Amino acid sequence: MEATATLNRVCQEVKICPGEPSDHELLLHFGIEEVGSPGVILDEAIARSTPCSCFAYKGKDMCWSQGIIGMLSQPQQAVYCVAGKTYKAQPALTERYNKFAEAAEEAHKKIEAMPKGTERLEVWLEEMGTQLTKRGIEV
């Protein structure tokens, strides 16, 4: 599948790791969410065998795992967090996540009426860049 190959290439380029997500990784997470997908599984075995890293956001667990790009949906958490969930206070991550969520909400307004497809994603990415810059984040 072309999309999976592209995501694998992006993963290698941004060096996605099990630690706190970088700004580039957060942009990728929000991009995956914008196109209507939960986390994209790249390595099923790693995803199932490693604990998820999580933080609380508006009373909800936001988790990611090695082997998956994007935040996990609630059903995915039931499958891929069986090795456990690791929580630690991450105020800097929570603040960055808030900024990304605000930017994504504003960027989505620009594309609501557009049909799904590459052009829509390009407009969304452009607007995310604008909105993140307004919030002091350069990606």
Higher pLDDT, 63 or 9: 63
Which residue from 39, 19, 32 is spatially nearest to 81, judged by alpha carbons?
Answer: 39
Q: What is the pLDDT of residues 34-50, one digit of tens each?
A: 666 688 889 999 999 99
49 is written with which tokens?
A: 């065998």
DSSP SS3 for 115: coil
pLDDT category at 15 given cuts 50, 70, 90 is: very low
DSSP 39: P
Helix residue spans in the chain (DSSP H): 2-14, 23-34, 44-49, 74-80, 91-111, 118-134
The predicted model scores a pTM of 0.62
pLDDT higher than 70, residue 61: yes
Q: In whole angstroms, give the CA distance from residue 28 to residue 21.
A: 10
Q: Please state, in angstroms and rounded to a whole number, the distance separating the CA atoms of residues 123 and 133.
A: 15
pLDDT score for 49: 95
Q: What is the mean pLDDT of the chain?
A: 81
Q: Which residues pair with 55 in a beta bridge?
A: 62
